[in-house]
Amino acid sequence: MEREDTLRRLKSIEGHVRGVSRMIEKDAYCIDVIRQVQAVQAALSKVSTKILNDHLHSCVITAIRGDDLDDRERVLKEISEVYEMASKV
Protein backbone atom coordinates (compact mmCIF):
# COMPACT_ATOMS: atom_id res chain seq x y z
CA MET A 1 0.00 0.00 0.00
CA GLU A 2 2.83 2.31 1.00
CA ARG A 3 4.63 0.96 -2.04
CA GLU A 4 1.65 1.62 -4.32
CA ASP A 5 1.49 5.20 -3.06
CA THR A 6 5.22 5.71 -3.72
CA LEU A 7 4.91 4.26 -7.23
CA ARG A 8 1.96 6.55 -7.92
CA ARG A 9 3.95 9.58 -6.80
CA LEU A 10 6.89 8.57 -9.00
CA LYS A 11 4.55 8.13 -11.97
CA SER A 12 3.22 11.63 -11.38
CA ILE A 13 6.78 13.01 -11.07
CA GLU A 14 7.68 11.36 -14.39
CA GLY A 15 4.73 13.15 -16.00
CA HIS A 16 5.81 16.39 -14.35
CA VAL A 17 9.30 16.07 -15.87
CA ARG A 18 7.73 15.42 -19.29
CA GLY A 19 5.64 18.56 -18.74
CA VAL A 20 8.82 20.56 -18.16
CA SER A 21 10.20 19.30 -21.49
CA ARG A 22 7.01 20.41 -23.23
CA MET A 23 7.26 23.84 -21.62
CA ILE A 24 10.76 24.22 -23.07
CA GLU A 25 9.62 23.02 -26.51
CA LYS A 26 6.88 25.65 -26.43
CA ASP A 27 9.38 28.34 -25.38
CA ALA A 28 7.77 28.93 -21.99
CA TYR A 29 9.24 31.69 -19.86
CA CYS A 30 12.52 30.46 -18.25
CA ILE A 31 11.53 31.43 -14.72
CA ASP A 32 8.27 29.45 -15.01
CA VAL A 33 10.30 26.44 -16.16
CA ILE A 34 12.73 26.79 -13.24
CA ARG A 35 9.83 26.94 -10.80
CA GLN A 36 8.43 23.68 -12.21
CA VAL A 37 11.86 22.03 -11.93
CA GLN A 38 11.99 23.13 -8.29
CA ALA A 39 8.49 21.70 -7.74
CA VAL A 40 9.68 18.33 -9.10
CA GLN A 41 12.64 18.43 -6.70
CA ALA A 42 10.32 19.12 -3.76
CA ALA A 43 8.08 16.20 -4.80
CA LEU A 44 11.16 13.96 -4.91
CA SER A 45 12.11 15.06 -1.39
CA LYS A 46 8.72 13.87 -0.19
CA VAL A 47 9.16 10.51 -1.93
CA SER A 48 12.58 10.04 -0.42
CA THR A 49 11.31 10.93 3.09
CA LYS A 50 8.54 8.35 2.69
CA ILE A 51 11.00 5.66 1.60
CA LEU A 52 13.29 6.47 4.52
CA ASN A 53 10.33 6.24 6.87
CA ASP A 54 9.40 2.76 5.56
CA HIS A 55 13.04 1.72 5.85
CA LEU A 56 13.24 2.89 9.48
CA HIS A 57 10.13 0.87 10.33
CA SER A 58 11.41 -2.31 8.72
CA CYS A 59 15.12 -2.99 8.09
CA VAL A 60 16.36 -0.55 10.72
CA ILE A 61 14.24 -2.03 13.51
CA THR A 62 15.25 -5.56 12.48
CA ALA A 63 18.95 -4.71 12.33
CA ILE A 64 19.00 -2.84 15.63
CA ARG A 65 17.03 -5.51 17.48
CA GLY A 66 19.21 -8.21 15.95
CA ASP A 67 22.54 -9.39 17.32
CA ASP A 68 24.75 -8.71 14.33
CA LEU A 69 26.70 -5.63 15.42
CA ASP A 70 28.22 -5.08 11.97
CA ASP A 71 24.79 -5.06 10.41
CA ARG A 72 23.53 -2.61 13.00
CA GLU A 73 26.49 -0.34 12.41
CA ARG A 74 25.92 -0.52 8.66
CA VAL A 75 22.25 0.57 8.77
CA LEU A 76 23.07 3.47 11.12
CA LYS A 77 25.92 4.60 8.89
CA GLU A 78 23.63 4.53 5.85
CA ILE A 79 21.11 6.78 7.56
CA SER A 80 23.82 9.33 8.40
CA GLU A 81 25.01 9.18 4.80
CA VAL A 82 21.64 9.80 3.16
CA TYR A 83 20.97 12.54 5.73
CA GLU A 84 24.25 14.24 4.83
CA MET A 85 23.46 13.93 1.14
CA ALA A 86 19.93 15.30 1.69
CA SER A 87 21.43 18.47 3.17
CA LYS A 88 23.28 18.92 -0.10
CA VAL A 89 20.82 18.15 -2.89
Write out the binding residues for a second copy, residues 29-58 only, by CB under 8 A: 29-31, 33-35, 37-38, 40-42, 44-49, 51-58
Q: Does 64 bind a second copy (CB under 8 A)?
A: yes
DSSP 1: -
Query: Cβ atoms within 10 A of the Cβ of 48, count?
Result: 15
Q: Considering the rule CB under 8 A, would residue 71 count as an interface residue with a second copy? A: no
User: 62 and 54 in contact (C-beta within 8 Å)?
Assistant: no
Which listed residue (1, 26, 70, 88) binds a second copy by CB under 8 A?
Answer: 88
CA distance 48 to 13: 12
- What does the alpha-carbon distance between residue 46 and residue 77 come to, in Å, rounded to a whole number? 22
Q: Which residues bind a second copy (CB under 8 A)?
A: 3, 6-7, 10-11, 13-14, 17-18, 20-21, 24-25, 29-31, 33-35, 37-38, 40-42, 44-49, 51-61, 64-65, 72, 76, 78-80, 82-89
